[in-house]
Amino acid sequence: AQKITQTQPGMFVQEKEAVTLDCTYDTSDPSYGLFWYKQPSSGEMIFLIYQGSYDQQNATEGRYSLNFQKARKSANLVISASQLGDSAMYFCAMRDPEETSGSRLTFGEGTQLTVNP
């Protein structure tokens, strides 16, 4: 079974600083996808960034980048130049291989990020 672990229940960062949110995963499948979603206090789930297991380069989307270390099974999210609006819950998720169980997402417990002015 797939498993996602986020070991930081809460993180604090100063505005304009960079922050790294940790995510480790466990899977025996060679093909998988890793995602990060943001959930503000309003409740919606916002897609941030995706990394495929066969992607050679780390994914980047604006101020978001993914530090993908396949051998260590980690997929940490790096947010550069933090803004007050980045304060939210952040979830790491893994997509199941479609061949076995559809393409459901398995989520971690989440990390609550607070950006201080």
Partner 1 sequence: DSGVTQTPKHLITATGQRVTLRCSPRSGDLSVYWYQQSLDQGLQFLIQYYNGEERAKGNILERFSAQQFPDLHSELNLSSLELGDSALYFCASSHAPRETQYFGPGTRLLVL
- Does position 18 interact with partner 1 (CB under 8 A)? The reply is no
In this structure, are strands 24-26 and 111-116 parallel, antiparallel, or unpaired? Answer: unpaired
Q: How near is the Cβ of 35 to partner 1 at its closest, in Å?
A: 7
47 binds partner 1 (CB under 8 A): yes
Residue 12 contacts partner 1 per CB under 8 A: no
Q: How far apart are CA 89 and CA 93, in angstroms?
A: 13
Helix, coil or strand: residue 84 = helix
Distant-in-sequence contacts of 102-107, Cβ < 8 A, 24+ apart: 105/35, 106/2, 106/3, 106/4, 107/4
Neighbours of 3 (CB within 10 A): 12
Shortest distance in whole angstroms from residue 83 CB to partner 1: 20
Min CB(17)–partner 1 separation in Å: 28
Task: Say whether residue 95 binds partner 1 (CB under 8 A).
Answer: yes
Measured between alpha carbons, how far is 29 from 1 in angstroms, rounded to an integer?
A: 10
Q: Which is nearer to partner 1, 77 or 95 (CB)?
A: 95
Interaction between residue 43 and partner 1 (CB under 8 A): yes
9, 30, 102, 117: which one contacts partner 1 (CB under 8 A)?
102
The residue within the footprint of partner 1, chosen from 3, 16, 70, 104 (CB under 8 A), is 104
